[in-house]
Structure 1
Amino acid sequence: MLHRSSPRPLLPVTALLLVALVGCSSSAPSSPSPEPSVDTHGEIAGAAELAEPAVGLTSIDGEGRVSHLDLLEETTADLGAVRTPAALHSDGRYLFAADASGVSIVDSGVWTWDHVDHFHYYRAEPKLLGDVRGGGVATVATSTSSTTGGTGVFFPDSGEAVLLDTEALSKGAVVESFRLRVTPGPGLVAPAGSFAAIAAADEVTLHAADGAAMGDPVACTEPAGTITTRVGAVIGCRDGALLISVEDDKPVVERIPYPEGTSAPRATAFAHREGRPTVAAVAGGAGAWLLDTRARSWTLLPTPEPVVQVTAVDDKDANVLALTADGRVLVLDGETGAERAASVPLVGASLAAGQPVSLIADQQRAYLNGPTEGRMWEIDFADGARVAREFAPERTPLFVAETGR
């Protein structure tokens, strides 16, 4: 059963959109759709185009059962089951649930296509797409598009670097563009346009979509953490980050070192509002790192107290959201680090138990899951970190992702 404390206002439409006449019901054909034409604005045949994003929270419980909570209708749908995941990654449409033997892929059926100055919103039939096998809990990296480009999967135990065809995923098929064997251990595959960067064994190599190597390796000591912004793909290294962008249909690698003289712990995991250029990472007990990929610069942001998670909203107010060890959500000034607001403790029990808690930010709201508490929350960070809605799903939200945006 779902409980809420107050209704969520409908989001404004950012552009005038035409509603697709094909597949305007809630279901879409189960067979793969034909290839879209050039510049289809993210449309896939059989999907309904919507006037606003079909935002939802897609979650997986401790037995691998997948549920989707529609945040506009406040209804819940059962999407099936996958193997119990040890980690989860999402690009806002797909869920990549990883365990020690592979990655299960769930298509939530809702997505947004970013046309830079406006957006298109779609709904299709949700489905379980299948598995990608490999050794060890995989690191997954996505691009900013759920209908084009690639998705990177790296298996640490077997040293297998896989690039999935994201356009094929959008048609319901799991297709590997390449699968290469490199040195086992920590690593990742970061997609950038039609290319991909493989980070492993203290170096980064560039590859075409068919796996062919391009150029010389670039040093990256102890690679950890990756995220894609409007500017390009970020790969964290011990001395800073690499930014892989595409210029004139060619991949370009730039190094963004940490500021000279800094002693703060490095960034190892990045988070941000989808598509924005600025990303955030925990800097140990020193606060938070902000990486502006447009300016190619790092800022060490002091926080009022040590935080365990941080994400950059990157809005006009420069809001940064952080999660404290006792489960409070802080709203911080991204220029000074000063606290603007704080919620009451929400997920302290989950954090104390070592449960996976995710703090997710979009333009208007933040979302938080508490597996131990058996709750999910919608937080209005612009209104004093107020809990706008509280949900009590029937299934424990062990892992959760915001989908449709």
Structure 2
Amino acid sequence: MYHRKLLSVLGLLALAGCAGGPSAPSTDEPAGGHGVVEGATEVAEPQLHLVAIDAKGQSSMLDLLDGTDTGLDTVTPPDTVSTDGRYVFAADDAGVSIIDSGVWTWDHVDHFHYYRSQPRPLPRLDGEGTATISTGLLSTAGSTGVFFPGSGEAVLLDNQALSQGELAETLRLTVNPHDGLIAPLGRGALVSRTDQGEKATRVDAVDDAGTTVTSHTCEAASGTITTRVGLVVGCADGAVIATLDGDTPVLEHIRYPSGAAAPAATFQARKGRPTVAGIGDGSGIWLLDTRERSWQWLETITPVVTATAVDDAGEHVVAVGTDGTIQVYDAGSGHQIGSTKPLLASTLADPGLSGSVGVTVDGQRAYVNASADGVVYEIDYADAARVARTLELPTRPVHLMETGR
């Protein structure tokens, strides 16, 4: 009930402040605006849910507000799972299964709109190799990037069509096969390229026809995430931040400090926030402030396997240590401010489960899947990593995503 009481107040304030606010951070807002979709109901608070998928592809949802369980359709057992806050993209080596959780938030910059509809499966997108998925800030406008490494096919899916239960492509390119990416950027995209080998050597900003507008060197491009500032892509020597000057893409290279630790290959953050956390060799956490265009190295008490930047007033960073503890740091001071017992020790000890451990955060809580024990831990990161609840879903949370954000 903690979420319900606090978020209800925030939601009502947001709705009251709608008139005269700035436009949403998208060039493709539907005519009705505010993320309105036929058949959906606008509500006063975020409809936060956890979506779990087990090793066999069975999936379910848990309503974090009232505790209601909902069974979902079975998908092909995934290798990786990602979300934009509404859709869950479950990627295997032959394509991507998509679940519409039916709950989402429309980001209107200075306030938000919250929606609820029925969950449903969407058409599957087939391809070669486990796809890299790149999402934007809005689930009913703009696009979602899907890159298939086996064929080099780079696809943009139309989010407005997804909201209507349809699969429609706004762009499809074929490049040399490699471990690559395509990420939405305005009406076009940022696409990785390679001259040879399995790793990317550069990124190209392309328009909606697939024509290259500008390029930048980016060795081993990986780890896309979209913040309110711009699109981030990790490189071997730093990161490229892609923004738009009107309709013109601008690519900036933010290098690591001299003598830096291993580069970050993935980035995670609370949705839309400007500071993102990255894991390289696990000896600590990289924090990239996309507003300041600066890196910070956060030393951790133990090596870590995953971390997420909350980027709130307390500058919290939530991480999972290799010892199975869930740790919380203050990025401002660099100090650890809390840690749990080794709650995930058995999960990390299982090679079949350890790679799927993740941390997802919202404005109040963090959620970590201990799939070996069949539970999810809800962590109050502002209260020294206190375990607020131990949650169970109908399916074992081998993969866990939070939707409604």
- d(CA) in 2 for partners of 1:107, 1:336: 40
Alpha carbons 2:134, 2:224 under 8 Å: kept:
yes
1:202-281 pair list within 5 angstroms: 202-210=201-209, 212-259=210-257, 261-281=258-278
Taking structure 1 as the reference length, the TM-score comes to 0.91
1:295 maps to which of 288, 292, 297: 292
What is the one-letter code of the residue matched to 1:387?
A: V
Q: Which structure: greater helix fraction? A: 2
2:70 maps to which of 77, 88, 113: 77
In the alignment, structure 2 segments of 5+ residues that lack a partner are 17-27, 195-200
- Cα deviation code 1:10-50 (max 9, x no counterpart): 333332538xxxxxxxxxxxxxxxx9843611111211000
- d(CA) in 1 for partners of 2:315, 2:38: 38
- % same residue: 47
Per the alignment, residue 148 of structure 1 pairs with 141
Alpha carbons 1:370, 1:376 under 8 Å: kept:
yes
1:68 partnered with 2:90: no
1:311 partnered with 2:308: yes
- d(CA) in 2 for partners of 1:16, 1:197: 33
3-state SS of the aligned residue for 2:51? strand
- d(CA) in 1 for partners of 2:345, 2:108: 39
1:57 partnered with 2:57: no
Q: Which runs of 4+ in 1 moved over 6 A?
A: none
Aligned length: 382
Cα separation, partners in 2 of 1:287 and 1:36, compared to 1, 3 Å = closer
Alpha carbons 2:88, 2:99 under 8 Å: kept:
yes
Per the alignment, residue 24 of structure 1 pairs with none
Structure 1, 357-366 or 8-17: larger mean CA deviation? 8-17
Cα separation, partners in 2 of 1:323 and 1:161, compared to 1, 3 Å = same
- d(CA) in 2 for partners of 1:393, 1:345: 21
- Cα deviation code 1:165-220 (max 9, x no counterpart): 1111111111111221111111001112222010131111122233x213243211
- d(CA) in 2 for partners of 1:148, 1:37: 7
What is the one-letter code of the residue matched to 1:225?
A: G
In the alignment, structure 1 segments of 5+ residues that lack a partner are 1-5, 19-34
Per the alignment, residue 369 of structure 2 pairs with 369
Residue 375 of structure 1 deviates from its aligned partner by 0.6
Alpha carbons 2:240, 2:251 under 8 Å: kept:
yes
3-state SS of the aligned residue for 1:377? strand
Per the alignment, residue 105 of structure 2 pairs with 112
Residue 100 of structure 1 deviates from its aligned partner by 0.5
Per the alignment, residue 198 of structure 2 pairs with none
Alpha carbons 1:36, 1:44 under 8 Å: kept:
no
What is the one-letter code of the residue matched to 2:380?
A: D
- d(CA) in 2 for partners of 1:215, 1:194: 12
- Cα deviation code 1:298-346 (max 9, x no counterpart): 1111112211111111011111111101211111010232110111221
Taking structure 2 as the reference length, the TM-score comes to 0.91
Per the alignment, residue 19 of structure 2 pairs with none
- d(CA) in 2 for partners of 1:277, 1:8: 23
Alpha carbons 2:99, 2:122 under 8 Å: kept:
yes
- d(CA) in 1 for partners of 2:31, 2:187: 15
Cα separation, partners in 2 of 1:383 and 1:36, compared to 1, 3 Å = closer
3-state SS of the aligned residue for 1:270? strand
